[in-house]
Chain A
Amino acid sequence: MALILELAVQGAQMMLVLLLAPLLTGFVRKVKARLLRRQGPSLIQPYRDLLRLMRKEVVLADNASWLFRVTPYLIFAATWVAAALIPTFATGLTFSWTADLIAIVALLGSARFFLALAGMDVGTSFGGIGSSREVMIASLAEPAMLLIVFSLALVAGATQLSTVAAFMGSPQVGLRVSLGMSLIALVMVAVAENARIPVDNPSTHLELTMVHEAMILEYSGRHLAMIEFAAFLKLLLYVSLISCVFLPWGLAGVEAGPKSFALGAVAYLGKLALCGILLAVFETAIAKMRVFRVPDFLGAALMLALLGTLLLFVSRSL
Chain B
Amino acid sequence: MNGLTFDIAHLLAGGLVLVSFMMLYQDRLFALINVFALHAIVLALSVAWQAYIQDAHHLYVTAAIALIFKAIIIPVGLHRIIQRLGIHRDIETAVGIGPTMLAGIGLVTLSMVLMLRVTPDADPLAREDLAFALSIILLGLLVMVTRRNAVSQVVGFMSLENGLVLAATGAKGMPLVVEISVAFSILIAFIVIGVFLFRIRERFDSVDVGALDDYRGEHR
CB within 8 Å of B: which residues of A?
174-178, 180-181, 184, 295-296, 299-300, 303-304, 306-307, 310-311, 314-315, 317-318
- CB pair B102 A177 closer than 8 Å: no
Kindly report which residue of chain A lies nearest to residue B128, judged by CB atoms.
A315
Return A135 CB to nearest CB of chain B, in Å: 18
Contacts of A317 in B (CB 8 A): 116
| B112 at interface by CB-CB < 8 Å | yes
Contacts of A303 in B (CB 8 A): 21, 101-102, 104-105
Partner of B108, one of A176, A295, A296, A307: A307
Return A305 CB to nearest CB of chain B, in Å: 11
- CB pair A304 B11 closer than 8 Å: no
Query: Given the complex of chains A and B, what is the CA–CA distance between A300 and B104 in angstroms?
Result: 11
Query: Given the complex of chains A and B, what is the CA–CA distance between A154 and B97 in angstroms?
Result: 28
Partner of B113, one of A175, A178, A306, A314: A314
| B109 at interface by CB-CB < 8 Å | yes
- CB pair B11 A175 closer than 8 Å: yes
- CB pair B105 A175 closer than 8 Å: no
- CB pair B11 A300 closer than 8 Å: no
Kindly report which residue of chain B lies nearest to residue A181, judged by CB atoms.
B18
Tier of interface size on chain B = 20 to 34
**7 A-B contacts (beta carbon < 8 Å):** A181-B14, A304-B21, A306-B105, A310-B108, A311-B108, A314-B116, A318-B128
Q: Please report which residues of chain B, range 74-109, place their CB below 8 angstroms from some CB of chain A when the two chains form the complex.
A: 97-98, 101-102, 104-105, 108-109
0/1 interface trace, chain B 177-190, chain A, CB 8 Å (1 if under): 00000000000000
- Per CB-CB distance, the 9 closest pairs between chain A and chain B, nearest first, are A177-B14, A175-B7, A318-B124, A174-B7, A303-B101, A175-B11, A314-B112, A296-B97, A299-B98
- CB pair A177 B98 closer than 8 Å: no
Kindly report which residue of chain A lies nearest to residue B104, judged by CB atoms.
A303
Contacts of B21 in A (CB 8 A): 300, 303-304, 307
| B198 at interface by CB-CB < 8 Å | no
Q: Which of B11, B13, B15, B127 has the most CB atoms of chain A within a 10 A radius of its CB?
A: B11
